[in-house]
Amino acid sequence: SPWSEIRLEQSPSEVKRPGETVKMSCIISGYSMTSYNIHWIRQKPGRALEWIGWMNTGNNAASYASSFQSRFSMTEDVPSSTQFLQIQTLTAADSAVYFCAQTTMWTRCICT
């Protein structure tokens, strides 16, 4: 299967203080990063998944869910096939597991 070699490798966990900034990475291998868009999602303990936003890969063009538009910033580095999510002015409410996810096909989506 052509999908068997695909990897999205995320940076290790970090401990930060309130007010600090964190920048996490997602290194993509096994396919051309610009072929598919990348989404960022988070999950707080015992809570449902929350969609943060998505990156139009290759264009450095990000779109964010309404509640993540101010302190969250998605960027990319195409030569190294890496996606980044940066969160500024951290608070305890930002404590969560953060995921990067690849869209393997075009879907019609109303993202709110």
Q: Which residues 6+ apart lie within 8 Å of 10 measured at CB? A: 24, 25, 26, 27, 98, 99, 100
Q: Is residue 47 part of a domain?
A: yes
Residue 112 inside a domain? The answer is: no
Tell me the pTM: 0.86
95: domain CATH number is 2.60.40.10
Domains: count for the chain? 1
Answer whether residue 109 is part of any domain. Answer: no
If one compares 17 and 29, the residue with the highest pLDDT of the two is: 17
Q: Is there a domain that residue 68 lies in?
A: yes
39 within some domain? yes
Does residue 3 register a pLDDT over 70?
no
pLDDT in tens, 31-77: 887 788 899 999 999 999 999 999 988 888 999 999 999 999 999 99
Nearest to 81 by CA among 4, 9, 5, 2: 9
Q: What is the pLDDT of residue 29?
A: 85
Is the pLDDT score of 109 beyond 70? no
Residue 21 lies in a domain: yes
What's the token pair of residue 107? 């879907």
Domain that holds residue 46: 7-102
Q: Are 38 and 24 in contact (CB under 8 A)?
A: no
